Structure 1
Amino acid sequence: MSDAFDYFRAYAVRALCKARAMPRGRMKHLQLVAGRIYNLLKNEAAYGPNAQHLEDFRAAQKLESSLERRPSDRSGGRLAPAVPQSADREAD
């Protein structure tokens, strides 16, 4: 067994646990997809070393990172309104 198997297994477990904690919807589905990708990579790594699965691993990591950014980007591209300064600061 290689180290890749252990790493992919850890990523799969983390991704699937994160998906279980999410509410129903598209984001949960995509998180499950990332977990399944890690699981498939784990199975491939169990049979022998393979450098080709690194591209798939990077794609799954990119998907997960985009899922983490997406909830904070729900403003639709609009900028947040400016916060007015307090009167105390203006008096200084």
Structure 2
Amino acid sequence: MSDAYDYFKAHAVAAVRRARSLPFGRLKYKQRTVARVYHLLAKEAAFGPNVDHLDDFRAARKAERQIQDNR
């Protein structure tokens, strides 16, 4: 396993935990979507070079920050 895999997997787990703590609604749905993106990035990072996933990771982090700002 690569470091990127572990990093993305940790973010996916944290995002799922945040989603579970939210009440039902749009923000919970968005947070779960972010968690799915992190999970997919972790899967891809296990097979490919680490640098190729940075733009996707930054987009997911930006979406997650927007969700947290809307709370």
Instruction: Tell me what 1:85 maps to.
Output: none
* Greater helix content: 2
How many correspondences in the alignment?
71
Instruction: Tell me what 2:49 maps to.
Output: 49
CA contact (8 A) 1:27 1:67 kept: yes
Segments of structure 1 that go 5 or more residues without pairing to the other structure are: 72-92
Identity %: 52
User: What RMSD over aligned residues (CA atoms) do the two structures have, in Å?
Assistant: 0.9
2:27 corresponds to 1:24:
no
Segments ≥4 residues shifted beyond 6 Å: none
Per-residue deviation, 1:33: 0.5
Higher relative contact order (CA 8 A, sep 6+): 2
The TM-score normalised by the length of structure 2 is 0.94
Deviations 1:1-37 (A, max 9, x none): 1100000000000000110111100000000000000
Aligned mates of 1:14, 1:67 — CA distance in 2: 14
Alignment of 1:1-92 (within 5 A): 1-71=1-71
Aligned mates of 1:6, 1:52 — CA distance in 2: 16
Amino acid at match of 1:5: Y
Amino acid at match of 2:3: D
Per-residue deviation, 1:52: 2.3
The TM-score normalised by the length of structure 1 is 0.73
Per-residue deviation, 1:49: 1.3
